[in-house]
Every structure is written in C-alpha cells, then in structure tokens.
Structure 1
Amino acid sequence: MVETQALSQYTDKLEFRLWQSPDQLRVLLAKKDIDFSAAPSNLPALMANRGDPVRLLNISVWGILWLVSRDPTVQNFSDLAGKELLVPFQRDLPAVLLDTLLDAQSFAPDQAPSLRRTRDSQDAIALMLTGQGQHVLLVEPTASLLLSRNEQQGGTPLYRVQSLEAAWKKSFPAEAELPQAGIMVNSHLAGDLGLSRAVEQAYAHSAAWCSGNALECAKLVHRHIPHLPVPAIESAIKVTRLDSRPANSIRPQLEALYQMLGKQNPQAIGGRLPDAGFYGP
C-alpha cells in the first residue's frame, strides 16, 4: 500500500511503522501515534469493550502459527505428550489458542506437554538453535526464520510439523476457522467510514497480490524490514493463509472466537462481545 500510494486520495504521507509486541501496540494506539494497524483479532475487541471506540476493518490472517520440532517422529500436536514445548507467548491470543488446543487432546494425566515460556520469539529461536529446546510454537515469519538460520548453520534438521490451524480443525470441526489478525482503525478516525472502506479495499488488493507473488512481496517486505531475509519471508508467505475479508462479513466467525476467549480468558476481550458497530469497514 505504501509502495503503490494506494491512499493518495486521502493522504500525501502513508508511512509504515513496525511494532514489536501487543503491549507496545496498545501504547501507540492510546497515544494516537498510529491511525491504522495490523493487530491480533482480540486486541480491538478488548479496547472497544474498555471504552475506546476503535473498529475492526477486516480479517486477513487465518493461519500463522506453526509447530517446529527436531524430532522426526513428532507429526502433530498430540505427539508432544510428555515433551517440553517452547512458547514465546504469555497472555496474548496465541497462548490462549494453544492452551485450548492442548486441553482438547487426549493426553494421559501425567503426559501433558510442559510449556516453557520464553521471553520472546528471538529467545525461543536461540534456544532451538543451541539445542536447548527441541519443540517450539512460532508465529510466521519467525518459524521460517528459525528454519532458515538452522539450515545456514548446518544444524540437526528441523521439521515444520503442523500448523495450529490444521490441528484446530481436527479438534474443533464445528469452529474450524480461526480469524487471527486483521486491520483495525484507531478511535480518532473510526468515524470516517469512507476512509475505512478505502483502507479495507486497498489492503485486500495488496494481500491478494502478495499471496500470488510471494517472491516479489518478500523483496518488498525486506526493504521495509531488512533484518528479515527474503527466503524466510517468501517461505512465510507461502505457508500463511492470507484471505482478506471485511469484518462485518465474518462476524459469526469472530463472535465464535470471542465467545471461546470469553470462556477461557475473559480479560482477553474485555469480558463481552463487541457491539455491532465494531465490525467494519
């Protein structure tokens, strides 16, 4: 969108800004330092239910979490019985999804995987590369980054085992879709529906182009995030389900997720479902 000046009708300055954690994103949004942002799908719901009238414009990411292992006999999440799993998530959406998925597996009482919480994804990658971890759940593109670095270093082979989304479909076939992340609009611009529609449409076009042109998209991303190598970005694009849909068109899927979060971790969404006006564009 930045490269194509997709919103030139609305602004002469469209700037890309990288955030590092959901906590940092919340601060940036609260200070009105950013207007629109990619975000985990629970974050705008949490903010809206706390009285900050942000809106969710779309969901574009439906599959982004991967189990990576050094053990070739580990073929799925149920094979983690009795094993330690590195998890670089604490209270956020991936942590709740993982806990819910593992609770649905048929582990013997003393064989549930032990979760080793790491400081962040880079810490988890370092533990895997030094042999101090054998299994890890990572969000893309960090899963692809780990596989790339391990290959470059000539390490013992690592295996991309299973996406959390694939495991979820088997465990919860009635709620098979996981609307994990999308674009939200900050409260000070949420009332500009024309701008929100333009952003949603431009993003959908860009996401479709990226899915169909993985290498070109990877090169473009690398220009803006140079610490990520092009091959890792390309791999991440190819294994990530990018499908941009307006939030109001998938409200049932979002509410199913929010209801599940409300049972498992009510504070993740602010204790209730968002109002109808929350779902954009």
Structure 2
Amino acid sequence: MGFAAAILAMVLLFAGCGQTETKTESSTAASETEDETLVHVLALKGPTSMGMVKMMSDNDSKESPADTFELAAAPDEVSAKLVQGEVDIAAVPANLASVLYNKTNGGVQVLAVNTLGVLYIVEDGDTVHSIADLKGRTIYAGGKGATPEYALNYILEKNGLVPGEDVTIEWKSEHAECVAALAEDADGIAMLPQPFVTTAQTKKETLRTALDLTEEWNKIQKSEGTAGTLVTGVTVVRTAFAKEHPEAVADFMEAYQASVSYVTENTDEAAKLIGDYDIVPEAVAKKALPACNIVCITGDEMKEKLSGYLGVLKDQNPEAVGGELPGDDFYYSE
C-alpha cells in the first residue's frame, strides 16, 4: 500500500466536515513575498480549522499579510505538502500527526491540540442514557478501520461490552447513510461526528444527542488514573522550520491562541467567519460550535492528553499511529 493510501486508511476524517475543493484564502501577493519568516499554513476543512478563522480573517485584512492560509479537503494533500516543505504549519487529524512523525523520522512536531473529541451517539428517541444502554442494540457508524472504530471499541470494551457480540455495529461508508438507516430503523442508533450531528438534526429534528463519547472516554481515563482524552485534531509544524524560525512560530501561536479564544467566546461572529471561509455553512456552525470542542492546548497538558490518546490507538491498531508511539521530541516546547 502506498504512503498516501496508508495515511488515508488510518486517518480520522469526518465526511460531514469535508468539501470537494481546495481553496486558498489569502493574498497571492503575500505568498510571493521574499520574507523568509512568512508562515505558510494549511488546514483541513472541519473542526480542526475552525479555531483559525479569526486569525485568517485578521491576516487577510492586512495590506501586507504575515502568513498565508490554505484550506484542504483531504488529508493526503496536507501530508504531501508538509513532507515536501510546501507548508510550514498544518491543522491535521491527531493520529495523522503521529503517522507523519514516524514516516519522516521526526520531521513534524505538535504545537497544540486544536480539537478534542467530536463523536456522539445519537438516536431518534429517548432510550440511551449510558454506555450500558447500548447492549443488545445496533449502532450505525462510519469510519471502520480508522480512529472512530478504535474509539468506539475502546469505550465499549472498557464498559464490559464486546463489539460484535453485545453490540451490533453496522458500518456505513458515509455518515449520510447512517442517518438514512435511522429513518428506516425505529430502534436504531448512530455514531456521528460534529458538525455532521447538527447537519443531520436540521434534516431530522427529532434526532437526539444521547452520549458524548469524549465524556465517556474521560470517565474511563479518570477511573484508571490516567489523563489521556479523545482527540480529533492537532496543529503541527515542520521540525526544520521550527528550529530555523522559533520567533515566527511563537508569533503564530500567540495569534492562534487569541483566535481560538475569540471563536469559543463569540459563537455568532465565529460562525459567520466559518461560513465565509466555506468550512461549513454559517447556520450549521452556529449550532455545532459549542459541541465541536475547539481548544488550544499546549505544553505538558498537550503531551499528557495526546500521548494517552495515541497510546489507546496503538493498543487497538499500531498502524493507526504509524507503528510506534512518537518520542518526546514529537511534542514542541519553546
């Protein structure tokens, strides 16, 4: 299996977050500047890029933008550009960062966790209030062979349920198929990511969010005395760029943290920006943002949460993290 194909098979990619085009949102003139500290940023459309929209907007409003931002539809495009040095910083699925670290012998480092878990159990009814309530039920889900499957299996197993025996999981190729299955199965339930949950609820108003799988994951970790959490996305930097331009990285992180704070504290305004940048429609973003778990976690807390998450994935399937857990140098420190 080729490198790009292998990454695609491993990565946590939510179909409801994607678009069909790649779109550059910054000035072409800016990308042609000779300023060696110009930061080229690439992010996947979806929750992992939502926290960046304020700094993207601020950057685009400047006569001489400090950075260039590009939005991508697929993770293999991000991987290729990072490996080839065409971008310096990228927002990517958490396990893809680990895969790239292993494939490039430490060529990328994680600057921050940008999105915690966005997976939810939904139903058209009011029968599921705990993981135990899933026993004997059928769950419609997307993401077989990738991180959604590993996360679901981990949570079920830690709650004493055997996937495929105590709980039937019917895998679908697209999240829209899960919603269609719910319409045909009055007792069915589904595992869906945000913002697709919100998109589905706009089409089926009786759809209820029954369980937050991030909360369920955290309950398990707390009971075992560990601090890992369910992580969707991270922001990474090319290691070579970070070593050559530490001040540019520091400036980026200062603006990024401010952007995340703005997005999480100003839902209406952030939703408009998210719609303007064609990440998801404004109306969907307005409802989904509070459940998208947008964060900017750095330093020791980042390492603790992310390493715990990657450890669970490795136990489920080592290939999901690129074969081995990353070394300490995977976690960027100033």
How does the TM-score come out when normalised to structure 2?
A: 0.72
Q: 1:112 to 1:252 in 2, by over 3 A?
A: same
Q: Which runs of 5+ in 1 are unaligned?
A: 152-156
SS at match of 1:162: strand
Q: What does residue 163 of structure 1 align with?
A: 212
Q: What does residue 226 of structure 2 align with?
A: 175
Identity percentage of aligned residues: 21
Q: 1:59 to 1:98 in 2, by over 3 A?
A: same
Q: What does residue 257 of structure 1 align with?
A: 309
Paired residue type of 1:45: S
Output the CA distance in 1 between the equivalents of 2:273 and 2:183.
27
Specify which of 94, 98, 101 is matched with residue 45 of structure 1.
Answer: 98
Q: What does residue 72 of structure 1 align with?
A: 126
Q: What does residue 40 of structure 2 align with?
A: none
Check the 8 A contact 2:119/2:194 in 1, yes or no: yes
Cα displacement string for residues 219-249 of structure 1 (whole angstroms, at most 9, x for unaligned residues): 11011127x3323211211123222122554
Q: Which runs of 5+ in 2 are unaligned?
A: 1-54
The CA deviation at 1:128 is 3.7
Q: Larger RCO: Structure 1 or Structure 2 (Cα < 8 Å, ≥ 6 residues apart)?
A: 1
How does the TM-score come out when normalised to structure 1?
A: 0.84
SS at match of 1:16: strand
Q: 1:8 to 1:77 in 2, by over 3 A?
A: farther
Q: What does residue 216 of structure 1 align with?
A: 269
SS at match of 2:120: strand
Equivalence map 1:72-111=2 (5 Å): 72-107=126-161, 111=165
Check the 8 A contact 2:156/2:163 in 1, yes or no: no
The CA deviation at 1:209 is 0.6
Check the 8 A contact 1:65/1:163 in 2, yes or no: yes
Check the 8 A contact 1:210/1:217 in 2, yes or no: yes
Q: 1:220 to 1:188 in 2, by over 3 A?
A: same
Check the 8 A contact 1:48/1:54 in 2, yes or no: yes
Cα displacement string for residues 106-137 of structure 1 (whole angstroms, at most 9, x for unaligned residues): 33798522212211333334444565983111
Root-mean-square deviation (CA, aligned residues, Å) is 2.9
The CA deviation at 1:264 is 1.7
Check the 8 A contact 2:90/2:237 in 1, yes or no: yes
Check the 8 A contact 1:7/1:14 in 2, yes or no: no
Comparing 189-198 with 68-77, greater Cα deviation is found at: 189-198
Q: 1:109 to 1:35 in 2, by over 3 A?
A: closer
Is 1:243 the equivalent of 2:292?
Answer: no
Paired residue type of 1:51: T
Comparing 201-210 with 35-44, greater Cα deviation is found at: 35-44
Output the CA distance in 2 between the equivalents of 1:89 and 1:83.
19
Output the CA distance in 2 between the equivalents of 1:10 and 1:51.
33
Q: What does residue 206 of structure 1 align with?
A: 259
Comparing 6-15 with 197-206, greater Cα deviation is found at: 6-15
The CA deviation at 1:251 is 1.5
